[in-house]
Amino acid sequence: MDVIVGGGVAGLSVAWRLARAGRPITVVDPAPASGASHAAAGMLAPVSEVTFTEEPLLRLGAASLARWPAFAAELAADAGLSSPRELGYRADGTLDVAFSADDLAALDETAGFMEKLGLRVERLTGRECRRLEPMLAPSVRGGLLARDDAWVDPRRVTAALLTALERLGVAVVRARVRELVRDETGVRGVRLGAGDGGPAGDGGPEVRHGGAGAPEGRASRGGPYPAEFGAERVVLAAGAWSGGLAPVPVRPVKGQIMRLRSPEPLLGRCVRGMVHGQPVYLVPRGDGELVVGATQEELGFDTRVTAGGLYELLRDARELVPGVTELEVADVVAGLRPGTPDNLPLIGPGGEPGLFLATGHHRGGVLLAPLTAAILLSETDAPPGPDGLVAEDLVALCSPGRFA
Ligand code: FAD
């Protein structure tokens, strides 16, 4: 059996693809889909918040974006949904807008990189931008339309992954992994936190995530569980908390984000821009929800939503689309992105026999989900999934061995 530690978009995607490839899988997470994946906007945009100095990340993002249509279609089918649109999947592009000559020059440079990656981009005048998105501010001077960009609703994606896993008979154990179990040959399983497991018949007391920086989650349920799970392979996919279980260079990067609601969708596509030197984006959902994100803060395991964070988001979003201040606030949340020193993910063998990593996705874990699952399939010698093999140079970019 393979045990996946962590049921965010990374762990659940890997679990789903491995289970589909015929592997016996167990997922362990006290509160699946409650971490960064719950906060994420869901942009499938390789250039999102990425500067063009991060070309390796752009290449990973472009490769994963190309896998998303098939990934979404198969996930929708496995979860019993009528179409990928039920995952909030839309492929209507991103409009990056500029307010100044400097912004326009930066967009030009970005366009060059995107074209080099084979992504279709179109430079637009301010008037053309407003023709596409009439709610844009009159001060927008120009923009860049990335036609291939898409987006999903990550909450729907993780819910669909959980349904698909249930339909495949995969157990999702609502418990916290306290430590990895090792013997002289390497990692051989996981031990659950005190009270999360215990002998059959002993459900143990209700347990919330504990310990420094562990996520606040729902109480564990669904037990009793054994205190340990043996595993042929353990895949560590615990997001920002991965460093608590193995020596991996992952740190939490806080992001505050808000969801607004309007009777009619305000925008037809994702819109983003630089305001006061900070990136801000707006992601529309078909049901009138508009996601405004996101702050980037190095504050450790702090998930407080602050007045200052929300103020900055709204102030900057209003510069792009003045009408946002009229909308109802539906939800505000702070999530912890799993950041790495070079902003690239850690996917593949974890430096000890039996341990694999699927973590460190930082700002792009939703975008990178199909690529992550495809790499893990090949690195664990599972038959290649419908996505096929990943190019060796991309696998190497994600290799945890680069920090060995
Ligand atoms: P998480 O979703 O955090 O999941 C980790 C899981 O591990 C949690 O469910 C947790 O309960 C579990 N866990 C922790 N400790 C243990 C333990 N000891 N035992 C068992 N389980 C444990 N990405 C994009 O691609 N596009 C976007 O538009 C985007 N927008 C974002 C906006 C914000 C505000 C934030 C915060 C992030 C955004 N991201 C975006 C990044 C994306 O959310 C992350 O890269 C991605 O969710 C990481 O997924 P994960 O599964 O690794 O981590």
The per-residue pLDDT for 194 is 67
Q: Is 12 in the pocket of ligand 1 (CB under 6 A)?
A: no
The per-residue pLDDT for 117 is 78
Residue 46 vs residue 259, higher pLDDT: 259
CA distance 218 to 7: 13
- The yes-or-no verdict on residue 195 having pLDDT over 70 is no
Q: Is 376 in the pocket of ligand 1 (CB under 6 A)?
A: no
Q: Is 25 in the pocket of ligand 1 (CB under 6 A)?
A: no
Tokens of 27: 């997922």
Q: Is the ipTM, as predicted for this complex, more than 0.95?
A: yes
Longest C-alpha distance within the chain, in Å?
A: 68
Residue 262, CA distances (Å) to 34, 280, 348, 394, 396 in order: 25, 19, 42, 41, 44
Q: Is 365 in the pocket of ligand 1 (CB under 6 A)?
A: yes
- The yes-or-no verdict on residue 216 having pLDDT over 90 is no
> Please, what is the average pLDDT of the chain?
90
The per-residue pLDDT for 34 is 96
Give the residue, by CA position, lying nearest to ligand 1 atom 52. Answer: 239
CA distance 379 to 377: 6
* pLDDT tens sequence across 5-48: 999 999 999 999 999 999 999 999 999 999 999 999 999 998 76
- Going by pLDDT thresholds of 50, 70 and 90, the confidence category of residue 385 is confident
Nearest CA among 163, 180, 254 for reference residue 215: 254
Q: What DSSP line would sit under 135-189, residue for residue?
A: TS-TT--EEEEETT-EE--HHHHHHHHHHHHHHTT-EEE-S-EEEEEEETTEEEE
Ligand 1 atom with the shortest distance to the CA of 256: 34
- Going by pLDDT thresholds of 50, 70 and 90, the confidence category of residue 131 is very high
Q: Is 176 in the pocket of ligand 1 (CB under 6 A)?
A: yes
For ligand 1, the distance from its centroid to the CA atom of residue 8, given in whole angstroms, is: 5
Give this prediction's pTM.
Answer: 0.93
The per-residue pLDDT for 51 is 60
Q: Is 9 in the pocket of ligand 1 (CB under 6 A)?
A: yes
- The yes-or-no verdict on residue 205 having pLDDT over 80 is no
Give the residue, by CA position, lying nearest to ligand 1 atom 33. Answer: 40
Q: Is 309 in the pocket of ligand 1 (CB under 6 A)?
A: no
For ligand 1, the distance from its centroid to the CA atom of residue 277, given in whole angstroms, is: 26
* pLDDT tens sequence across 317-358: 999 999 999 999 999 999 999 999 999 999 999 999 999 999
Nearest CA among 372, 335, 171 for reference residue 258: 335
What are the φ/ψ torsions at residue 209 (nearest 5 degrees)?
A: -55, 135
- The lowest-confidence range among 30-34, 48-52, 201-205, 300-304 is 201-205
Q: Is 32 in the pocket of ligand 1 (CB under 6 A)?
A: yes
Give the residue, by CA position, lying nearest to ligand 1 atom 53. Answer: 239
Ligand 1 atom with the shortest distance to the CA of 11: 51
* pLDDT tens sequence across 137-191: 999 999 999 999 999 999 999 999 999 999 999 999 999 999 999 999 999 999 9
Query: Which of 14, 58, 176, 241 to mutate to test ligand 1, by most ligand atoms within 8 A of the CB atom?
Result: 241
